[in-house]
């Protein structure tokens, strides 16, 4: 059974960099699929942040592109999110997902809450 | 970006009711449409992919239909565990996917 688990600081100061890691178990991320990050601000809907393919190719939401980096660490079977210059608007629950691409995101982590505050 | 619009945004229904949620895309997306269920405080779960295919493990009372710009999610007979928020998501532009704003389904 494939499982994803997010980890990282729950509190980040404004203007600093948010860093999260997703640890994958039950599947080797280098074998296939796309691996992505989705966020959900409090009381709001879902927003795609970006994705990394098993090849290492990355895609980011255009409005976040200048601040986002997603990378793979195949040795640890993990992928990571870095979001720089954060503001209160980046406060959200952050989910990592396995993306079946046209067939949807079939495995989700439990989510981790990140609050941007001084 | 492809905009996804769900209606209604809020729906009140009773156990046993048949419920339909609509999702419209700002341009044709063929059948590249997925549906998710999110319960309060939990991660979303994939229910339907490719507009009408039932995800493994999803109850058969859930069904999806549509193509082009208009899609529906139908729950044939509401169960207590179905009260949740539902999201549609286009995968036509994958990986640059977008979600609808959500439909909150509550008990009448």
% of residues, chain A, pLDDT over 70: 100
Q: How confident is the model at residue A13 (pLDDT cuts 50, 70, 90)?
A: very high
CA-nearest residue of chain B to A46?
B99
The pLDDT score that the predictor gives to residue A21 is 98
Cα–Cα distances (Å) from A50 to A33, A94, A108, A111, in that order, read 14, 12, 14, 16
| A100 at interface of B, judged by CB pairs closer than 8 A | yes
Does the pLDDT of residue B5 top 90, yes or no? yes
**What is the rounded CA–CA span in Å between residue B39 and residue A116?**
25
B31 touches chain A (CB under 8 A): no
Residue-wise pLDDT for B54-92, tens only, equals: 999 999 999 999 999 999 999 999 999 999 999 999 999
């Amino acid at each position: 059974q494939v499982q994803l688990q997010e980890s990282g600081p729950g509190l980040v100061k404004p203007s600093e960099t948010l860093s999260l890691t997703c640890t994958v178990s039950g599947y080797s991320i280098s074998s296939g699929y796309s691996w992505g990050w989705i966020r959900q601000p409090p009381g709001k809907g879902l927003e795609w942040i970006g994705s990394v393919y098993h090849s290492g190719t990355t895609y980011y939401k255009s409005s976040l592109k200048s601040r986002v980096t997603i990378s793979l660490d195949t040795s640890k079977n993990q992928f990571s999110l870095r979001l720089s210059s954060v503001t209160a608007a980046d406060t959200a629950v952050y989910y990592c997902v396995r993306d079946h691409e046209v067939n949807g995101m079939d495995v989700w982590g439990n989510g981790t809450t990140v609050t941007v505050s001084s | 970006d492809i905009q996804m619009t769900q209606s209604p945004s809020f729906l009140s229904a009773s156990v046993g009711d048949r419920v339909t949620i609509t999702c419209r895309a700002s341009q044709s997306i063929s059948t590249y449409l997925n549906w998710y269920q999110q319960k309060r405080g939990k991660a979303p779960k994939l229910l339907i992919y490719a507009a009408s295919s039932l995800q493994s493990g999803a109850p058969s009372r859930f069904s999806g239909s549509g193509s082009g710009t208009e899609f529906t999610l139908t729950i044939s007979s509401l169960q207590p565990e179905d009260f949740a928020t539902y999201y549609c998501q286009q995968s036509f532009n994958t990986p640059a996917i977008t979600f609808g704003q959500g439909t909150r389904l509550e008990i009448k």
